[in-house]
């Protein structure tokens, strides 16, 4: 099981890091991988491939509720606003890698849309 979690940690870190203007890095003070968009968090992920490893992502409140009802491996965001964030067990078999990657992208988009227009323009002008 930890092999799956280990692969997912690397994969999802790479996915987040490749989004325009974003970076994923180990944040020592929180002991997590931190998904950052111009200083704003769009995700958190356990750094160790343990059984309780999770990824926490932002989502629309109504969408978060549906995911929690559909999947036992999705719960209200750990150490985050429970309405706007969900935590997903990295060992889950209920959600595929592409499904979780789509949730990473949605989280990024929600944070991106709240950025000031000037900041969004700077990100766009960097071209990736």
Domains of the chain: 2-116 (3.90.1150.30)
For helices 2-17 and 97-114, the axis angle rounded to 10 degrees is 30
pLDDT digit string, tens, across residues 113-124: 999 999 999 999
d(CA 76, CA 120): 29
CA distance linking residue 85 with residue 4, whole number of Å: 23
Whole-structure pTM value: 0.95
- CA nearest 90: which of 25, 45, 37, 31? 45
Dump pLDDT digits (tens) for 4-37.
999 999 999 999 999 999 999 999 999 999 999 9
Nearest-angstrom CA–CA distance, 79 and 65: 17
d(CA 8, CA 37) in angstroms, rounded, equals: 21
- pLDDT score at 127: 62
């Amino acid at each position: 099981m930890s092999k799956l979690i280990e692969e997912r940690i690397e994969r999802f870190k790479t996915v987040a890091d490749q989004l325009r203007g974003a970076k994923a890095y180990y944040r020592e003070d929180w002991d997590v991988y931190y998904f950052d968009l111009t200083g704003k968090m769009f995700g958190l992920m356990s750094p160790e491939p343990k059984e309780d490893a999770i990824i926490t992502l932002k989502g629309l409140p109504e969408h978060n509720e549906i995911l929690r009802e559909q999947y036992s491996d999705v719960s209200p965001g750990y150490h985050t606003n429970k309405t706007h964030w969900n935590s997903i067990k990295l060992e889950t078999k209920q959600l595929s890698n592409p499904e979780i990657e789509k949730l990473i992208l949605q989280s990024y988009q929600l944070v991106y849309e709240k950025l000031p227009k000037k900041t969004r323009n700077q990100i766009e002008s960097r071209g990736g």
